[in-house]
A and B are shown apart, each in its own frame.
Chain A
């Protein structure tokens, strides 16, 4: 018994020593520390980069922009590349949390579609380059929805009572109602916001759920017939349920993006820029977005994409549709008004 105890201790010590060496064994290779959403890249594309430049990539996840902000703000850096969404880029710039990009290291930036350059949240692309973008539109199941859908108004159709899905997001939903009434999705006019919210209150009896995380499942399983869905999610849904159609309403809609950005004080800034440049190579880009399934912002990548990808309307929105879109802008202190109305809406008052 006692012998065994000692043997156990020795074994434990050996394991500890082993783990310690594996800790220290992080080699002398240059390492790119990515902090991003889960499963945000094609695995092979990352591996190719590691081999091509003889570097290592570490990949850690966050689940929402606010987590990312908290970590970076707390100085919990150590990361070289992060992927904040559009409004978060603006917030991080304001808080001086980002390094300006050196475009000399990213010549492939020229490949980005003109409509995705110079976005409102980062004029002149000083700090960020778009990685993924999408548009909030209406997805509907043509088995149940027989009318022609082309306006936000259609969500209010009493025929779909109890089958309407809305994103669980304050600015998205109120922004949608603002658009419906012909205003900016980032209005700071309290009267406009109130009128939009009153409109939404009339929609409430029809709403099945406010849902962002499992809205795809609800559409696939036909629990919901019609709803506000991101274009990339719609492309995902249609793979499992071919009856789903997607449209960007004529009143216009909200465009959103995740971006490449480099946090202040990153140790391997040049490597991060090298990585961004590599990702913007047309062939690499095509390979990556085939897997990821979202829109490819790379204008030169189209010839390398599969036919199925090129013909997918939910991934490749028309120029007309893109013209109807608007970024969510910073509303400053009016955000409190949005928050208050949002609480009212969700508590069904």
Chain B
């Protein structure tokens, strides 16, 4: 028996969808528009995508973004997972506090995160550049990994691990053959989220970027001042595509093997 909702609610959701997605859709549509002056529709073209890949600065920014995202994701995934594993055994009182602290970077406004890191780097006389951007990205990505892996750990319980030790498995064997396989979907999905967050981040990167560390979002911001070109629309479209794909993948891994508990949403 299906419950019918009020028709006004349907209209409301429709308007909401339009409000959220029309601006994004416009960028996508204009990225295929065969005129430099985005306004009227002048026919379909892939030209902007082609000229995008020929642009030395775009390619440099892309290389920077990927370098930062790959390194920060690997380190953040390792650190975040280890933190989740070690905090798992804390007593209830500490656990709440620690969870809050680990979650804080997700909630703190980006601008404060960026500014505080910039101040820190200056105090320590660390020259700004790719390294500082990577460190900053690790700092905020770690929290996402921690949150996802912790949720996974909480969901799996301890029975299997206890059974493994009863059967004579060493701590390492238990971890390697029982714990790790169970939480690996969480780790993978955490890593994918971390990668996406790193790729999309503007504010924090903007503060801590130095020579030759212009990432794609910083590049796009600089370009907009020159007038929004169709190449920028194309670049944004590609970024949207990659981000959505990664997040869908993360969602997929998070749900996989969950059995009865399905459709758990990502904590973002």
Contact = CB atoms under 8 A, between A and B. Distances in A.
Q: Are A and B subunits of one complex?
A: yes
Most buried by B among A60, A214, A217, A221: A60
A91 B185 CA distance: 54
Nearest to A8: B188
Nearest to A214: B227
A205 interface: no
B118 A63 contact: no
Contacts of A58: 211-212
Contacts of B74: 12-13, 15-16
A61 B119 CA distance: 21
B225 A23 contact: no
Interface range on chain B: under 10, 10 to 19, 20 to 34, or 35 or more? 35 or more
A242 interface: no
Contacts of B209: 60
Interface string B190-226: 0000000000000000101111111000110111111
B37 A38 contact: no
Contact of B211 (A60, A75, A214, A217): A60
Most buried by B among A63, A216, A240: A63
A96 interface: no
Nearest to B36: A240
Interface of chain B, main secondary structure: helix
Interface residues of A, number: 40
A78 B125 CA distance: 11
A240 B119 CA distance: 46
A16 B195 CA distance: 13
Interface of chain A, main secondary structure: mixed
Contact of A221 (B37, B119, B227): B37
Nearest to A215: B227
Interface stretch (B16-24, B101-109, B126-134, B239-247): B126-134
A1 B177 CA distance: 12
Given A16-B74, A58-B212, A216-B227, A78 B222 contact: no
Contact of A214 (B57, B71, B119, B228): B228
A217 B210 contact: no
A276 interface: no
Interface of A: 1-2, 5, 12-13, 15-16, 19-20, 22-23, 26, 31, 33, 35, 37-39, 43, 58-64, 67, 74-79, 213-214, 216-217, 220-221, 240
26 contacts: A1-B181, A20-B71, A23-B67, A26-B212, A33-B212, A38-B219, A38-B223, A38-B226, A43-B56, A60-B209, A61-B214, A63-B221, A63-B225, A64-B225, A74-B122, A77-B128, A77-B210, A78-B129, A78-B210, A79-B211, A216-B227, A217-B39, A220-B37, A221-B39, A240-B36, A240-B37
Given A58-B211, A62-B222, A63-B225, 10 more contacts: A12-B70, A16-B71, A37-B222, A37-B225, A38-B222, A38-B223, A58-B212, A60-B213, A76-B210, A221-B39
